[in-house]
């Protein structure tokens, strides 16, 4: 019995007979004819279009790579900036010496941050971050920065917050700036702050109020209500509510005497009498006047010797005059009159 399937398997075409599918294609091509070649201009356009597309793809890839590089660089710069800010604002800063004690009447305490207070002596330094304190019987003076004399009244507590900033929480400060370009110094209290513009003035705080007296020059006062100025001869009281109350205060008013009595020692050796008299006038708020030209020449030519240690300016003036050919004559309170004994 035989099946319907040829035992030789599928029929194979002969070696010179193409497959049926290929025969159909050849026949179709003969009928259609040969394919026309594209025109040269068209080929160039196509090639140019493909090249342009390819260049666009390359440029896009380069752009993305540059963008990623810039992003990485920006991230690195941001990280560096954040680290720098952290170092600047969060890293602990070393204390900086900003003042030197020039006089102490009684006891002066200094308290570094997070430490106990200890007594300090003349010629020792005060640094940022330290709090200085006088008791009810003590006063002190120090040289602060360049050309600034800072004095503390009884019962004063002040912190050196920075090289240009003091925080007064009790008592009073007297500031005398003689420098041509005085260091900017701000005094802060609970009621407001004061900044001087080359001057003599005092700041007193009590019961959440601030009182600023201007002896010479000008000050700027800032509080919650805004900013105002004070000039020589004015006393400005800033209330807890931010109100400004002004009154008059002469340069020789008794309220300045404590500052004169706490003045750093003036070494009269090798100084002329005229220079010494000018110092007395500045410390007492008076102008030195000479009765004659001869008296003024004598004051400029006379060189002093000795010491006035322990004497306030007025007492020192009387003591020095007693050793010279000059004397003090009666004048108004606003001036100091000097004359020759022969006048």
The whole-angstrom distance between residue 11's C-alpha and the CA centroid of its chain comes to 103
**CB-facing half-sphere around the CA of 50: CA atoms within 13 A:** 6
Q: Report percent pLDDT > 70 for the chain.
A: 72
Residue-level pLDDT at 50: 45
pLDDT tens digits for range 253-301: 999 999 999 999 999 999 999 999 999 999 999 999 999 999 999 999 9
Strand locations in the chain (E): 97-105, 108-111, 118-119, 125-127, 131-134, 139-144, 148-152, 157-162, 165-177, 186-189, 192-206, 209-223, 226-231, 234-238, 244-248, 287-290, 326-329, 335-340
Answer yes or no: is pLDDT of 18 > 50: no
- Neighbour-count burial of 308, counting CB atoms closer than 10 A to its CB (0-12 exposed, 13-18 middle, 19+ buried): buried
Question: Other CB atoms closer than 10 Å to residue 41's CB: what's the count?
Answer: 8
What is the bridge-based pairing of β-strands 287-290 and 335-340?
parallel
Q: What's the first-to-final CA gap in the chain, in angstroms?
A: 171
pLDDT for 159-186, tens place per residue?
A: 999 999 999 999 999 999 876 666 678 9
What is d(CA 136, CA 246) in angstroms, rounded to the nearest whole number?
A: 28
- Write down the pLDDT at residue 217: 92
* pTM (2 d.p.): 0.72
Q: Is the pLDDT of residue 148 over 50?
A: yes
* Tens digits of residue pLDDT in 43-94: 455 455 545 555 565 565 555 555 444 454 445 444 444 455 454 444 457 8
Determine the pLDDT at residue 333.
86
Count Cβ neighbours within 10 Å for each residue of 16-30 and write b for 16 or more, e otherwise: eeeeeeeeeeeeeee
How many Å apart are CA 66 and CA 51, to the nearest integer? 22
pLDDT score of 137 more than 70? yes
Task: State the average pLDDT over residues 206-219.
Answer: 93
- Tell me whether strands 165-177 and 186-189 are parallel, antiparallel or unpaired: parallel
Where is mean pLDDT largest: 81-95, 137-151, 315-329? 315-329
Is a pLDDT exceeding 50 seen at residue 5? no
Supply the pLDDT for residue 275.
98
- Indicate the pLDDT class of residue 147, thresholds 50, 70 and 90: confident
pLDDT of residue 62: 58
pLDDT: which is higher, 37 or 183: 183
Which has the minimum average pLDDT: 71-80, 145-154, 326-335? 71-80
HSE at residue 197, side-chain half, CA atoms within 13 A, is 9
């Amino acid at each position: 019995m035989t099946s319907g399937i040829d035992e030789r398997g599928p029929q194979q075409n002969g070696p010179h007979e193409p497959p049926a599918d290929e025969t159909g294609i050849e026949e179709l091509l003969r009928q259609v004819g040969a394919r026309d070649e594209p025109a040269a201009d068209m080929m160039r356009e196509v090639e140019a279009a493909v090249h342009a597309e390819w260049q666009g793809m390359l440029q896009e890839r380069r752009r993305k790579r540059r963008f990623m590089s810039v992003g990485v660089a920006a991230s690195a710069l941001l990280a560096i900036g954040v680290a720098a800010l952290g170092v600047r604002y969060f890293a602990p800063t070393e204390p900086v010496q900003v003042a030197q004690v020039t006089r102490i009447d009684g006891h002066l305490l200094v308290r570094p941050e997070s430490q106990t207070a200890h007594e300090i002596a003349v010629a020792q330094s005060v640094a940022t971050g330290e709090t200085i304190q006088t008791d009810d019987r003590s006063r002190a003076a120090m040289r602060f920065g360049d050309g600034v004399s800072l004095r503390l009244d009884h019962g004063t507590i002040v912190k050196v917050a920075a090289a240009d900033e003091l925080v007064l929480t009790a008592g009073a400060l007297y500031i005398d700036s003689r420098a041509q370009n005085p260091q900017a110094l701000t005094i802060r209290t609970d009621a407001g702050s004061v900044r001087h513009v080359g001057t003599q003035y005092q700041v007193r705080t009590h019961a959440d109020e601030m009182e600023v007296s201007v002896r010479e020059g000008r000050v700027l006062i800032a509080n919650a209500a805004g900013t105002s100025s004070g000039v020589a001869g004015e006393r400005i009281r800033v209330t807890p509510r931010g109100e400004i109350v002004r009154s008059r205060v002469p340069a020789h008013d008794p309220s300045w005497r404590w500052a004169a009595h706490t003045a750093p020692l003036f070494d009269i050796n090798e100084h002329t009498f005229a220079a010494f008299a000018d110092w007395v006038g500045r410390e007492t708020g008076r102008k030195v006047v000479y009765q004659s030209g001869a008296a003024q020449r004598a004051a400029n030519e006379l060189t002093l010797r000795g010491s006035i240690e322990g004497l306030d300016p007025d007492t020192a003036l009387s003591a020095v005059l007693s050793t010279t050919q000059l004397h003090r004559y009666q004048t108004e309170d606003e001036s100091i009159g000097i004359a020759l004994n022969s006048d």
